Chain A
Amino acid sequence: MSSKCCEPDDVVSTDVIALRTKAPGLSRMSADGTDGAASGSASRTTKSARGPAESRLSHVAIVGKPNSGKSLLFNRLTGLSQRVANFPGVTVEVKTGRVGDTLFMDFPGVYSLTPLTRDEEVAVARLAAELDRDSLSGILCLLDATRLERSLQLGLQVEAEARAKGKPLLFVATMIDELEKAGMTLDTSGLARDLGAHVVAVSGRKGTGLDTLRDKIAEMITAPAEFLPKGVPASDAQSMRATARKLGRQYGPKTDYVLKHQNRLDRFFLSSVTGWFSFVAIMLFLFQAIFTWAAPLMDGVEAIIGAIGAFTTARLPEGVVADFVADAIFAGFGSFLVFVPQIFVLSFIIGILEDSGYLARAAIICHRPLSWFGMSGRSFVPLLSGHACAIPAIFAARTIESPKRRLLTILAIPLMSCSARLPVYSLLIAALIPPIGIAGIFGLQGLVFFALYGFSLIVALIVSSVLSRTVYRKSSDAPFVIELPPYRMPHWLPLIRRSVEQAWAFIAKAGAVIFAVTVVVWVLGYFPNGSGQLSTSWLASIGQWIAPVFQPLGLDWQFGVAILASFVAREVFVGTLGTLHGIEAADEQISGFAAHLSASGLTLASGLALLAFYAIALQCASTLAVIRKETGSSTLPITLFAGYGILAWAVAWTVYHLVG
């Protein structure tokens, strides 16, 4: 039987209550995935926004539905370069930017003041707190001029709140350039009259109307009484929806015009044939960009680090300091910096997909297959990003609407074959697999490479599937309802700035941990006998102590040491093993070292077992640190490290015995 499970009139009565009651539950995210990851970020932002300097500023809140152009307008007003994308849910925490005595606060997009997802709860609770503060000088409520009815659904709720709390309000109609392109205009005077509030039309992309907007903001701060909402366009949820529909149809563009272009492209990108074909083609393009086109940039960074390292160490006297600078800083930490261009290229390409509107379509295509394994269509981008590096991928998982699916995605990401695994794969495949061709097109080594990626993906899907049906079976979920944005050209300059910033954030967030662990491993490998004596170092002693763990896989203590050392970052494995085998700069002489390993008795069974181990084990201190940050749980990363370690060993043992 069906029923009316929510009376329309209930809606607004719960809005104000929700604003007051949702906040207490926002404090922490629990490891079982029942809460959202964004709470930590919001509380941090709250702290920063409450600093003594900021509390003296005039606060202006920017609110609007997802994908209404908030971030672009925020960037225009503040001169900052916050992430902008044509994909709902990109702003996942409150961002602030100061201009003179005004502090602009960009809130995450919400469809309603009655939150459904965790991110919405954070945004609404934060907005509720701001509305109660004297420092809030006004609200900019954005209305997407191309989707006026939908924008007004939220706009009228915000207006009701502003009126109730006596806060000035200014409606900003965005994307006005898209209307003008089609020969249409927005009657801002009429809309302002019917709304009982000021309305300014702007184009964040072209910058039109921004001077008027700045003047209006200044007026709002100096003469707030002029901007208090005057009209009473709607008093309950049902009449708000009716008013939004009426005003949207009266002042908004003809919907058929807006949808015509979108529908034509969707016919191609969402069809069963061309949709999947274009999806695969775009993914191949992405992989090509990450693994081939980023290579010259990576080589360049490597050369620069090498040159600076050589220049620096040549000027240092021989001894422990020179060894530390050469091995720990330039060779160890430097090998981490080499991956920064890859992060830039990945961010740039994903940014193009987001800005164009394609990413929302990719999420739809992938939703059903991924939901079989407990994830969401929105998990697709984080999983894809995980093939370059798990760290930005885990941050990208914030856009997943369901806490349960977000957590499962975060747990699956470390199993993706990230770029740090590439040197390990390259070495072992070169040592174990003969370079023979198949059908004159493929090489056997390349196919094994491809199989390893497939293997990682399968393991990730199985793990996610098992966890969703056991540990996280009862965790809270959210409906998959995603707005399909119109197709648009990317905003190139903000996109480049954002890609650079993401690459920098990668260094800033992961660098400290990697540097600390690099130093620890270097000290253990250097002492007590100094440079070139790794086989008699403390690290070697630990390696020999844990040798029984790897003996059942047919691997000796040297592999144990290399595996231990690679906890810093997986790519350290090659260099460490090379040192133990007396090969200088092993990571630059993969083929020679592979031949040496092959001749030294590494069997096919042991080698494949080691490959399986590396495909699964969570050998990355930075990833663990980021998981801790994003989930707010200290036990989860430890559990994950131990769990994936045991799983990796068990699979490796199975492979060893099957092949052997």
Chain B
Amino acid sequence: MPVPNLNLWDLPASTSATVAAFEDTLPKDYCLRLTELGLGIGETVECLRHVPLRGPRVYRIGDSVFSIAEDVARGVMIHAVQSGETRGVQP
């Protein structure tokens, strides 16, 4: 599978994607924590909401909702954008 050029921060609201890889720039313990929170490679994530002033965006991961800041979200590469299950909105 080709390396994607889309990262989690680019994911529009109300759409979901699968995690493809982590950027080398993302510290290893951050990758580990994201994996443990359900944002591991191959997992599905849905962007529920963009927040004003480029604030941490809101994502549905499994049965929970997390807010992830830009520096972390930009280190998560994603595949296959599709419509989300939960209706989210742009700010």
Kindly identify which residue among A11, A263, A481, A482 contacts B88, using a CB–CB cutoff of 8 Å: A263
B69 and A371 within 8 A (CB): yes
Q: B7: shortest Cβ distance to chain A, in Å? A: 9
- A628: CB under 8 A from chain B? no
Q: B14: shortest Cβ distance to chain A, in Å? A: 10
A256 and B85 within 8 A (CB): yes
B residues in contact with A483, CB < 8 Å: 64-67
A residues in contact with B22, CB < 8 Å: 2-6
- B40: CB under 8 A from chain A? yes
- A642: CB under 8 A from chain B? no
Residues of B1-17 contacting chain A, CB below 8 A: 3
Contact string against B for A residues 136-160, beta-carbon threshold 8 Å, 1 for contact and 0 otherwise? 0000000000111110010000000
Kindly identify which residue among B49, B62, B69 contacts A149, using a CB–CB cutoff of 8 Å: B62
B38 and A11 within 8 A (CB): no
- A89: CB under 8 A from chain B? no
Q: Cα distance A150–B61 when bound, in Å?
A: 9
- B51: CB under 8 A from chain A? yes
Q: Cα distance A255–B70 when bound, in Å?
A: 25
Q: B31: shortest Cβ distance to chain A, in Å? A: 4
Given contacts A3-B21, A6-B28, contact A482 B60 (CB under 8 A): no
- A580: CB under 8 A from chain B? no
A364 and B36 within 8 A (CB): no
Q: Cα distance A272–B36 when bound, in Å?
A: 31
A residues in contact with B71, CB < 8 Å: 479
A2 and B65 within 8 A (CB): no
Kindly identify which residue among B31, B56, B86 contacts A482, using a CB–CB cutoff of 8 Å: B56
What class of interface size applies to chain A in its complex with B? 35 or more
- A599: CB under 8 A from chain B? no
- A275: CB under 8 A from chain B? yes
When A and B form their complex, what is the total count of cross-chain residue pairs whose Cβ atoms lie within 8 Å? 163
B residues in contact with A147, CB < 8 Å: 63-64
Q: A109: shortest Cβ distance to chain B, in Å? A: 13
A364 and B56 within 8 A (CB): yes
- A116: CB under 8 A from chain B? yes
Q: Cα distance A396–B64 when bound, in Å?
A: 25
B63 and A150 within 8 A (CB): yes
B32 and A114 within 8 A (CB): yes
Contact string against A for B residues 17-43, beta-carbon threshold 8 Å, 1 for contact and 0 otherwise? 000111110101111111111101100
Name the CB-closest residue of B to A3: B24
Kindly identify which residue among A248, A271, A276, A364 contacts B67, using a CB–CB cutoff of 8 Å: A364
A residues in contact with B66, CB < 8 Å: 481-484
Name the CB-closest residue of A to B55: A368
- A241: CB under 8 A from chain B? yes
B21 and A6 within 8 A (CB): no
Using A114-B32, A153-B38, A272-B91 as known contacts, list a sample of 18 further A-B pairs with CB atoms less than 8 Å apart, ordered by residue number in A: A2-B77, A3-B22, A3-B23, A5-B31, A6-B32, A8-B40, A150-B37, A153-B36, A259-B48, A260-B86, A266-B49, A368-B53, A368-B70, A371-B69, A479-B71, A479-B72, A481-B37, A482-B56
- Nearest 10 pairs of A and B residues by beta carbon: A480-B69, A272-B52, A272-B91, A2-B21, A6-B31, A484-B65, A112-B36, A149-B63, A150-B64, A479-B72
